[in-house]
């Protein structure tokens, strides 16, 4: 009799464990946030070598291998700072950038065998921008630095052989961007007075720039490339005189838009494929609920379609190629997989796997990210994404709302480790693309201007309420979490929607919009008016900014709070956050306060620690 | 003296001394309690003023810690209208703020004539606003006339702040960001009834200001800073008397104030205020009678506790005393008993001794003499035996060391036998008896005859010679059998009727000179109790006694 009972118990336990297995195994936190082993794959111009970044003693360093994967050589030995940028200077040499906090940016050259290392550029503490980041023409690297005056950037040519730095173009003080053509000639420039942007054009260097068209910052013209057929005609993404960005041809001499190449009714054209090899437009990229391509070139259509056949059920991107455009670096991804890098040889039609981005995350344990939409009170349609935990019924789930940062940005469909981490822990994750988000057209973007603390927040609230009425979310278990503007939204939600949120977490959230505006540094001075227009004018709209800045409303917060703050953050003054935390502590509000040093060396560990504490905070407060 | 040592002692002086001591210590304790409470209250009077200070300055501290630094949150963007709103909220919340001065300050490297300047660093108020409280308590503003001279006394607060700030800017170190501990020394200026505050610029701005000051640069943009000066009125501080029982009056007085009241019954103490009110102090005073009220108030529970302790003490003392009393009575009973017993034993022993001596010394004994001595020896031996039996059985009964052996007896025969035995012994004893309907019952005949013997002995012993009469009645009542022994003897006083059943108790009377140990009735009572019955006495002195024995009736 006894044996029978034990037998039954064993069966019961087995059954229980099987049933749990179906609910997705609990994956360790570290697996979600570990750095990819190999990233930033590039092909050498001659297509004979592949380079990539890989951690060496905790810092990213450059490695080179042959096409077949043999002869892997580490060619850099940086132990204190990770390398964030590198480029093939020619078939033999690689230029890489090291951002030293104390000494400023430095460039180094080393050959593909890791020999002949030499410093190339180090001019002290200044800011450095690349004009043509992934193309070095005849050993000349085009850069822009604010060496002469910290408030604006002059264009320079840096010879990677000799290390000679030559001023290419003096900035009269209002140029914010320099654009070069395939031959490295600076033909386009963008001048700005902060609010209005003027596109400048010249047909040859040494000639003076002539204004092509002037727009306010709300209208954007982003040059893509130069047309080969007609002198002075460029391809650009533009939303001049239209709501949604479109791919167009602009005649820089007349300043007229000559041809509409592609536009989408519902969303912006967000990118365009362009081949500098023969000045070809390849495709127009746009993002509805996910990124899509409209092909403008048959060969590229065939290439992509072939790749999609070889790699079914996944999204395909070409991230790099050799000089002859015969070999390609291909990256795949889905919402449930961070993806894999491949090498594709066009001539042989052969696909070689290079590296999986995060092999420790099994795809079948990841959760699907579903596009959703809802209506607001003022009849606006807001899109967003909902990720439901695997193996749970979509009913009465604990919910985490993650408003994206920016707010000029958007949540996109694809793999997101943070979202997957929360979903794996059993939470539903909601990412609304509230008004003010990028990608849904000009008017939708502008609708968020000066509405940071009002309509934008109402959109988020409406989304949460919709999920509650749909009975997907449990109204007693909703948390709000975000970074930057998302953190501001979280704090704002806790202040003004105390009944909606059980708890909230803010990472570097803006506690005070006055400070946010004040943070526009002197060399962005012309941008100040734009900030006033987007956020609010602190002198004329003081009451509004005061009414929506969380630092003035600590008395309204009742829910438990998690705050992470960088020690040095120009957008959110640590002293203010301290004051904010102090007030809440005095009021006996349960609060977890995490100050992050943002130390380069321990960045990953700090990040893990943040998520570890956040996980505990959420599970404590959402009754998990 | 050794004789006294073993005597029972009774010392009333000791009792009196004990009572005296208790009374004295009680009075002492009460006095001490009063003194301590008095001291305690006096101490409290000097110490609890901290609480009053804390409570009174609470709004001030909140103002200083929270409302003043709020200016920093505006990051220098305050202007005339928004500063009016701010001043208004200050007036609404904090009654002790009398006025607000707002210096809308600009920092640049422009060579401005009337500005505060160090090297290229200029700091000047673009405009100055004064805010006063109107009758409704909200703020009204007035802009100051274009300031003609920054050094003038009206600009004192601005100048103080500008000097402090400029000195700080000069020494600012980008490696060492501003610590919150520095805030108070740099951005606050606290003087007599005044707090001046400037919004804290961001670390990046400090660097910019330093560059403005020390480097030759093109004309810089103009940076906005806000300096706000609050004029405070200590009279408007609301005093929160948290210890009304201690402090009758609390006033805010200048720090140099000395009370001129000479009345020794008025107690007073001071405590200086802090911060902008450092020139003032809280003056606490109370009359002696006010404090006495509090002392008494606190004394009551203490006094109650003392009284309680002493009453418990007295109660225990009483218990000990009464216990001793009982023991004393016990002692005298046993003492008497031994006396009697010795006497009882002595009489037959001496008679036997005399008889023995006579027999020994007689040359020859006649038959009459032999019979006479034999009878005497026999009788006296019987007496001794009887005495010893009684003592023995009594001890046995008391220790429950005998068992009841029940058997059915014929009551009539039983009583007749007893009566016959007594009539032979005492021919002048007239005994009548009636058994009613009861003929037989089940009991231990030995024990029952013991009871009969004792009661009949008593009836005979305590009756006057002409009145030796006994009536024995037996009847049934409520399932019990009742035996009544009614005599016409000397009777027992009512007060003694309970005591007669006690061990070794003998009534002191003329009839009781000898031959009684004081065990008979006690033995009877023990026997009856042992047989689960009861015994009672009804008696009247000079008329007779009636003993009633009730036993459970069994067949």
Question: A243-268: per-residue pLDDT in tens?
Answer: 999 999 999 999 899 899 999 999 99
Quote the pLDDT of residue A16: 45
Q: Name the nearest CA neighbour of A166 among A121, A117, A107.
A: A121
Angle at B431 between CA B427 and CA B435, to 5 degrees: 150
The sheet that has A73-74: what strands, in order across it?
A39-43, A49-56, A59-66, A73-74
Please say if the pLDDT value at position A195 is more than 80. no
Alpha-carbon torsion (B197, B198, B199, B201), positive or negative: negative
Mean per-residue pLDDT, A524-546:
84
* A552 close contact with B: CB closer than 8 A: yes
* Cβ–Cβ gap A512/B77 under 8 Å: no
Q: pLDDT band at A575, cuts 50/70/90? A: confident
- How far apart are alpha carbons A499 and B158 in whole angstroms? 46
CA angle A551, A556, A562 (to 5 degrees): 65
- List the end-to-end C-alpha distance of chain B, in Å, as a whole number: 63
Chain A residues near residue B77 by CB distance under 8 angstroms:
514, 518, 538-539, 542
Tokens of B264: 């020794």
Structure tokens at B265: 């019954």
In this predicted structure, what is the pLDDT of residue A35? 79
- Cα A22 off chain centre by: 33
- For residues A162-176, give the mean pLDDT: 89
Q: Which residues contact B65 (CB under 8 A, 6 or more apart)?
A: none
CB B69 to CB A539 under 8 A?
Answer: no
The predicted pLDDT at position A488 comes to 95
Mean pLDDT (whole number) for A362-383: 93
A569 or A281: which carries more pLDDT confidence?
A: A281
What is the pLDDT averaged over residues A502-517?
92
| Ranges in chain B annotated CATH 3.30.565.10 | 403-552
What's the residue count for chain A? 624
Measure CA of the first residue to CA of the last residue in chain A; give whole Å: 38
Q: What is the mean pLDDT of chain B?
A: 84
User: B73 and A539: CB-CB below 8 Å?
Assistant: no
CB contact under 8 A, B75 and A583: no
Name the range with the highest mean pLDDT among A98-102, A367-371, B97-101, B529-533. Answer: A367-371
A528 in contact with B, Cβ within 8 Å:
no
Which residues of chain B approach chain A closer than 8 Å at the C-beta? 66, 69-70, 72-79, 81-82, 85, 177-178, 180, 200, 202, 204-205, 208, 221
| C-beta atoms of A522 and B72 within 8 A | no
| Helix (H), strand (E) at residue B539 | strand B534-540
Chosen for mutation from A511, A542, A577, A578 (greatest number of chain B CBs closer than 10 Å) is A542
DSSP H helix total and E strand total for chain A: 12, 35
- The pLDDT of residue B325: 86
Would the pLDDT of A199 be above 90?
Answer: yes
pLDDT of residue B26: 93
DSSP type of residue B218:
S
CB-based contact A575 B200, cutoff 8 Å: yes
Q: Burial code of A275-293, b = ≥16 C-beta within 10 A, e = fewer? A: bbeeebbbbbbbbebebeb
Q: Which residues of A touch B78 (CB under 8 A)?
A: 542
Q: At residue A546, does pLDDT exceed 50?
A: yes
Closest CA to B416 of B383, B457, B380, B452: B452
**pLDDT(A458) > 70:** yes
Band (A150; pLDDT cuts 50, 70, 90): confident
pTM above 0.80, yes or no: no
Grade residue B330 by pLDDT with cuts at 50, 70 and 90.
confident
Set of chain B residues whose Cβ sits within 8 Å of the Cβ of A519: 202, 204
pLDDT of B1 over the 50 cut: no
DSSP B494-524: GGGTTGGGSTT----SGGGSSS--S-HHHHH
Kindly report the average pLDDT of chain A as a whole number.
88
Helix A417-424 to helix A603-621 angle, to the nearest 10 degrees?
40
Q: What is the pLDDT of residue B260?
A: 78
| Shortest Cα distance, chain B CAs vs residue A176, angstroms | 20
Q: Over the stretch B381-406, which tens digit does the pLDDT of each residue have? A: 887 887 787 777 767 776 776 777 88
Torsional class of A607: left (φ above 0), alpha (ψ -120 to 50), beta (otherwise): alpha
Q: Tell me: the pLDDT tens digits for B411-460?
A: 888 888 888 888 877 888 888 888 878 888 888 888 888 888 888 888 88
How far apart (Å, rounded) are the C-alpha atoms in residues B366 and B370? 6
Q: How far lies B67's CA from each of B60, B129, B453, in Å?
A: 10, 19, 108
Pairing between β-strand B480-487 and β-strand B534-540 as defined by DSSP bridges: unpaired
Neighbouring residues of A505: CB distance < 8 A, sequence distance ≥ 6: A479, A480, A481, A482, A487, A490, A561, A562, A563, A564, A614, A617, A618
Which one, of B416, B526, B421, B542, lies nearest residue B489 by Cα? B542
DSSP A297: -
CB < 8 Å to A598, chain B:
none
Across the interface, whether the CB atoms of B75 and A538 are under 8 A apart is answered: yes
The pLDDT confidence band at residue A525, using thresholds 50, 70 and 90, is low
Q: Does domain B403-552 have CATH number 3.30.565.10?
A: yes
Which DSSP state fits B67? I
Those residues whose C-beta lies under 8 Å from the C-beta of residue B38, and which sit 6 or more positions away, are: B295
Lowest mean pLDDT among B80-94, B255-269, B293-307, B398-412: B398-412
Closest residue by Cα to residue B514 from B339, B332, B333, B373: B339
Note the pLDDT of residue B4.
Answer: 46
pLDDT tens profile B92-109: 999 999 999 999 998 988
More confident residue, B553 or B310: B310
Cα dist from B172 to B109, B163, B176, B202, B257, whole Å = 17, 14, 8, 12, 43
**What confidence tens digit (pLDDT) does each residue in B230-264 have?**
999 988 889 988 888 889 899 999 988 887 777 88
Q: Select from 3.50.50.60, 2.60.40.1220, 3.40.50.1820, 3.40.50.300 the CATH code of A367-621.
A: 3.40.50.1820
Q: Which tokens hold the place of A525?
A: 């001075």
Q: In whole angstroms, what is the distance from residue A319 CA to residue A328 CA?
A: 7
Spell out the residues 6+ positions from residue A211 whose beta carbon is closer than 8 angstroms to its own.
A191, A198, A199, A200, A255
CA distances from A220 to A199, A248, B59 (A): 10, 12, 53
pLDDT of residue B150: 45
% of residues, chain B, pLDDT over 70: 91
Residue B517's alpha-carbon distances to A581, B162, B334, B521, in angstroms, are 97, 118, 11, 10
| Whole-number pLDDT of residue B12 | 82
Q: Is A575 on the interface with B (CB under 8 A)?
A: yes
Three-state secondary structure along A336-369?
CECCEEEEEECCCCEEEEEEECCCCCCHHHCCCE
| pLDDT range class, residue B151, cuts 50, 70, 90 | very low
Q: How many CB atoms lie within 10 A of CB B47?
A: 12
- Residue A147 has φ and ψ, to the nearest 5°, of -80, -45
Among the partner residues B66, B82, B200, nearest to A542 by beta-carbon distance: B82
Could you tell me the two tokens for A293? 């391509």
Q: What is the mean pLDDT of residues B113-139?
A: 85
Query: What are the residue ranges spanned by the domains of chain A?
Result: 219-296, 367-621
Q: What is the pLDDT of residue B274?
A: 87
CA distance A107 to A95: 7
The 10s digit of each residue's pLDDT in A598-607 is 665 567 788 8
Residue to substitute from A517, A539, A578, interface B, most B β-carbons within 10 A: A539
- Would you say residue B148 has pLDDT above 70? no
B185 pLDDT exceeds 50?
Answer: yes
Query: With bands split at pLDDT 50, 70 and 90, how would you rate the model's confidence at A334?
Result: very high
Is the per-residue pLDDT at A21 higher than 60? no
Confidence of residue B182 (pLDDT cuts 50, 70, 90): confident
Percentage of chain B with pLDDT > 90?
Answer: 21
Q: What's the rounded mean pLDDT across residues B103-129?
A: 87
Q: How confident is the model at residue A304 (pLDDT cuts 50, 70, 90)?
A: very high
Identify the closest residue of chain A to B225 by CA–CA distance.
A518
Tell me if chain B has a CB within 8 Å of the CB of A275: no
Q: What pLDDT does B525 receive?
A: 84
pLDDT surpassing 90 at residue B490: no
B178 contact residues in A (CB cutoff 8 A)? 575
Size of interface A-B (CB pairs under 8 A): 53
């Amino acid at each position: 009799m006894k044996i029978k009972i034990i037998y039954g118990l064993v069966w019961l336990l087995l059954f229980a464990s099987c049933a749990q297995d179906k609910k997705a195994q609990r994956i360790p936190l570290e697996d979600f946030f570990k750095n990819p082993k190999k990233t930033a794959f590039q092909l050498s111009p001659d297509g004979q070598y592949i380079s990539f970044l890989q951690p060496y003693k905790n810092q990213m360093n450059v490695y080179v291998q042959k096409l077949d994967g043999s002869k892997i050589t580490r060619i850099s030995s940086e132990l204190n700072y990770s390398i964030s940028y590198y480029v093939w200077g020619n078939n033999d040499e690689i230029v890489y950038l090291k951002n030293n906090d104390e000494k400023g940016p430095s460039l180094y050259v080393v050959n593909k065998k890791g020999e002949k290392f030499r410093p190339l550029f180090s001019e002290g503490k200044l800011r450095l921008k690349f004009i043509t980041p992934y193309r070095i023409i005849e050993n000349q690297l085009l850069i822009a630095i604010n060496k002469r005056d910290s408030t604006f950037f002059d264009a320079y040519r840096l010879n990677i052989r000799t290390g000679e730095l030559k001023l290419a173009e003096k900035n009269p003080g209002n140029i914010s961007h320099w654009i070069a053509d395939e031959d490295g000639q600076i033909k386009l420039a963008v001048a700005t007075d902060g609010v209005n942007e003027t596109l400048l054009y010249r047909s040859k260097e040494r000639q003076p720039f002539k204004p092509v068209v002037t727009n306010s910052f709300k209208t954007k013209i982003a040059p893509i490339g130069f047309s080969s057929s007609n002198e002075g005609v460029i391809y650009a993404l533009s939303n001049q005189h239209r709501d949604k960005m479109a791919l167009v041809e602009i005649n820089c001499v007349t300043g007229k838009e000559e041809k509409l190449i592609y536009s989408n009714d519902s969303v912006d054209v967000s990118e365009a494929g362009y081949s500098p090899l023969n000045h070809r437009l390849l495709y127009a990229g746009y993002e509805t609920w996910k990124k899509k391509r409209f092909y403008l070139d048959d060969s590229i259509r065939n290439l992509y379609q072939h790749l999609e056949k070889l790699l079914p059920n996944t999204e395909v991107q070409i991230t790099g190629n050799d000089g002859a455009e015969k070999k390609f670096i291909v990256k795949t991804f889905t919402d449930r997989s961070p993806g894999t890098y491949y090498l594709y040889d066009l001539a042989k039609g052969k696909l070689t796997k290079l590296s999986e981005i995060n092999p420790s995350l099994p795809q079948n344990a990841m959760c699907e990210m579903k596009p959703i939409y809802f209506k607001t009170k003022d009849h606006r349609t807001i899109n967003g994404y909902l990720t439901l935990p695997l193996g749970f019924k979509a009913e009465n789930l604990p919910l985490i709302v993650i408003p994206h940062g920016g707010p000029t940005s958007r949540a996109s469909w694809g793999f997101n480790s943070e979202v997957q981490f929360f979903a794996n822990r059993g939470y539903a994750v909601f990412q609304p693309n509230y008004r003010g988000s990028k990608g849904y057209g000009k008017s939708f973007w502008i609708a968020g201007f000066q509405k940071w603390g009002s309509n934008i927040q109402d959109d988020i609230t409406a989304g949460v309420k919709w999920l509650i009425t749909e009975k997907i979310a449990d109204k007693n278990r909703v948390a709000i979490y975000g970074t930057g503007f998302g953190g501001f939204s979280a704090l704002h939600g806790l202040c003004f929607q105390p009944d909606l949120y059980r708890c909230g977490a803010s990472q570097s959230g803006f506690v005070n919009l006055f400070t946010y505006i004040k943070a526009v540094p002197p060399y962005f001075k012309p941008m100040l008016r734009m900030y006033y227009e987007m956020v609010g004018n602190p002198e004329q709209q003081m009451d509004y900014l005061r009414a929506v800045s969380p630092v003035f409303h600590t008395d309204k917060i009742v829910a438990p709070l998690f705050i992470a703050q960088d020690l040095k953050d120009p957008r959110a003054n640590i002293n203010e956050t301290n004051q904010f935390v102090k007030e809440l502590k005095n009021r006996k509000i349960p609060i977890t306060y995490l100050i992050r040093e943002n130390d380069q060396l321990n960045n990953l560990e700090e990040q893990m620690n943040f998520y570890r504490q956040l996980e505990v905070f959420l599970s404590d407060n959402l009754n998990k | 003296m050794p004789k006294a040592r073993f005597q029972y002692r009774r010392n009333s002086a000791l009792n009196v001394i004990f009572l005296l001591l208790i009374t004295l210590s009680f009075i002492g304790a009460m006095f001490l309690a009063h003194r301590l409470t008095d001291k305690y209250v006096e101490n409290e009077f000097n110490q609890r003023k901290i609480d009053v200070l804390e409570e009174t300055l609470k709004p001030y501290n909140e103002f200083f810690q929270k409302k003043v630094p709020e200016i920093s949150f505006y990051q220098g963007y305050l202007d005339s209208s928004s500063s009016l709103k701010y001043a208004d909220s200050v007036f609404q919340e904090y009654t002790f703020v009398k006025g607000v001065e707002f210096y809308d300050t600009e920092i640049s490297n422009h060579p401005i004539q009337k500005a505060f300047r160090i090297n290229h660093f200029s700091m000047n108020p673009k405009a100055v606003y004064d805010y006063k409280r109107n009758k409704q308590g909200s703020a009204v503003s007035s802009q100051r006339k274009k300031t003609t001279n920054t050094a003038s006394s009206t600009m004192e607060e601005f100048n103080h702040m500008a000097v402090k700030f400029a000195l700080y800017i000069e020494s600012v170190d980008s490696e060492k960001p501003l610590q919150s501990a520095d805030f108070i020394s740099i951005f606050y200026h606290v003087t007599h009834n005044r707090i001046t505050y400037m919004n804290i610029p961001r670390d990046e701005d400090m660097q910019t200001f330093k560059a403005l000051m020390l480097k030759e640069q093109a004309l810089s943009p103009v940076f906005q800073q806000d300096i706000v000066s609050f004029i405070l009125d200590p009279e408007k501080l609301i005093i929160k008397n948290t210890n009304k029982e201690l402090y009758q009056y609390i006033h805010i007085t200048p720090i140099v104030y000395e009370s001129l009241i000479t009345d020794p019954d008025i107690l007073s103490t001071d405590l200086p205020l802090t911060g902008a009110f450092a020139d003032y102090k809280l003056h606490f005073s109370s009359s002696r009678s006010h404090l006495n009220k509090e002392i008494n108030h606190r004394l009551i529970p203490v006094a109650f506790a003392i009284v309680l302790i002493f009453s418990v003490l007295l109660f225990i003392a009483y218990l000990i005393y009464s216990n001793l009393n009982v023991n004393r009575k016990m002692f005298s009973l046993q003492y008497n008993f031994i006396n009697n017993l010795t006497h009882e034993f002595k009489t037959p022993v001496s008679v036997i001794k005399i008889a023995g001596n006579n027999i020994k010394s007689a040359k020859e004994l006649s038959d009459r003499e032999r019979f006479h001595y034999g009878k005497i020896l026999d009788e006296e031996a019987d007496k001794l035996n009887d005495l010893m039996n009684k003592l023995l059985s009594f001890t046995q009964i008391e220790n429950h060391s005998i068992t009841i052996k029940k058997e059915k007896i014929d009551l009539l025969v039983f009583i007749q036998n007893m009566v016959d035995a007594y009539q032979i012994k005492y021919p002048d004893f007239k005994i009548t008896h009636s058994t009613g309907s009861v003929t037989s019952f089940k009991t231990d005949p030995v024990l029952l005859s013991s009871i009969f013997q004792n009661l009949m002995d008593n009836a005979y012993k305590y009756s006057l010679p002409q009145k030796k009469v006994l009536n024995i009645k037996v009847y049934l009542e409520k399932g019990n059998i009742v035996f009544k022994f009614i005599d016409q003897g000397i009777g027992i006083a009512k007060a003694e009727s309970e005591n007669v059943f006690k061990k070794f108790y003998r009534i002191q009377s003329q009839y009781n000179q000898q031959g009684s140990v004081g065990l008979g009735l006690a033995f009877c009572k023990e026997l009856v109790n042992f047989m689960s019955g009861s015994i009672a006495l009804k008696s009247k002195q000079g008329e007779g006694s009636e003993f009633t024995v009730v036993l459970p009736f069994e067949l």
